[in-house]
Structure 1
């Protein structure tokens, strides 16, 4: 076992990005992914914010990701009458490398994984993790087929229902419902007319948010004319086994209450939609023990209301790589990483949860400030945590 070997459990956004960062920092990285290919959640889409795109740039992965999806430079906000309340630039709209980007989750996974393989990072599909054994001199991952892998460090990037968290870091901690279930779908060839107005040509630069009376709705139109949309609906959680692929029929009575484009977009959706319960991790969830660390949703999942989940995972990847580069001792590096990441991601959990529960209407701006820019800058050392050298 090499002293600078890292096993990353999870080949999604957080895990593959972490592999890119750790490889750049000089570590020998292996990624293990339970799914047999890159098609997890292929029907769901996401937006990468400017802060996420900045993290990608520090990982030298901008080109790999901008080869898929499409950029967004304008934010529109409509009220429940379809009246435009706001229209302005979105994020770092003037910088092509930092513009928001809309893309399928599966496309992003595939792009990041292809880039990891191109750089010589070992990526093993179909490896379902069952448990983790942490020891003073290394950590061993156990898989369903009876095989094991041992490395100096293990990064748990295996999502909301993390096996790493359950078996090694915080076995009693469970994600909780955040007050909404969320629909994701796409519609081809719709004109986006409000119910009482003329057709409106779609603006392929814009993401439009609708503050509906029965659901929060958002959509963006690709240059090819496909509309990617989501709806967030308050209520009791869907039962176990309930989330998944289903029709959008249940949405329409809520959307038809308002003369906005939302109902028409959903009515024209020909295929099934993806539905999930919005969930979040409790504040203060432990992130590390011994040689094992959690990142991404495994550590700090938030409801999707702020749209920051993927971007926060990309930030994690850069800051973790810098922490281990600047302080190879895992205890010190993990503490440094947590010092810089926990306030930011837990603020996002709090704000996003308040939006989902209806106790807040506007997200705070935590997107791309000077402190974050310095934390992500690869050539800038990551400052020590308070008391680190005491």
Structure 2
């Protein structure tokens, strides 16, 4: 039972819990207690230390900004106005608070505000759907387009939009990079002749890819009703992130053990059979390493691309909050920062899980 649990948590990328399981089962208490302290207690303690340092830093910056504002009020408006400003700050009135790094409490409050906003927008969408249900049935029956909700998206809606975009971009990168990588891996001559293209385009900035894709897509979708901003975003993400998969696939195919190739020759496998039954299974560890990097890069560049393209998503949310300049805007930006980080971590764990599921070489990184 114990070994099955340990094998399972390792399989899903939670190998750091192994010493805790062994300690619960009273196996080598001294050794596993040290391992639990190192792998579980120390990371948890570091979280509290991080929050404590964040709180201290936030308070320090708040005091510094508050002193600056009071000094400026004293110089420009006199002692009386400065005293009023100080009293207003101490009262907690949001209209006169220094706009600086928010505290952990303020960020949590902003998180709650965003969730409440999502619940309100979801309720509005449901009410709209109920009101327009019968009307839309008639419009669809007449061959007309249904009336859709056009209100602003909530924070959760923008997370969903970003995930949809990143997965579309990831699939595009997968379908471009893996076949080309296999072809390059099979031919040393072709690999050498194409390598310069990879080395030139691999470091190109997401901004450049976005502008290039924008020029092409805008021309091709001029008379189309399709969502061009989504198309531009996911194609830009795919082109920015595909290079790690392309390089790793080519390396994986090129480094397949020659004994496997000789066995395929002996069995007289056709080219496609050789690729799917011999080359791809042997190359999977390197291919999945490339896919993990591609997904991570896709998620990182997505935020920048959404920000630049002003397409719906987390990048657009961060930019709008930055432009908004409200008292809780900084807190909402930090909420988005944590959400982006957690989602990026979760995506990497999902890829690791899939890699362990289909590959004969297990990884726990």
* TM-score, structure 2 as length reference: 0.20
Give the strand-richer structure, 1 or 2: 1
Structure with the higher fraction of residues in helix conformation? 2
TM-score where L is the length of structure 1: 0.20
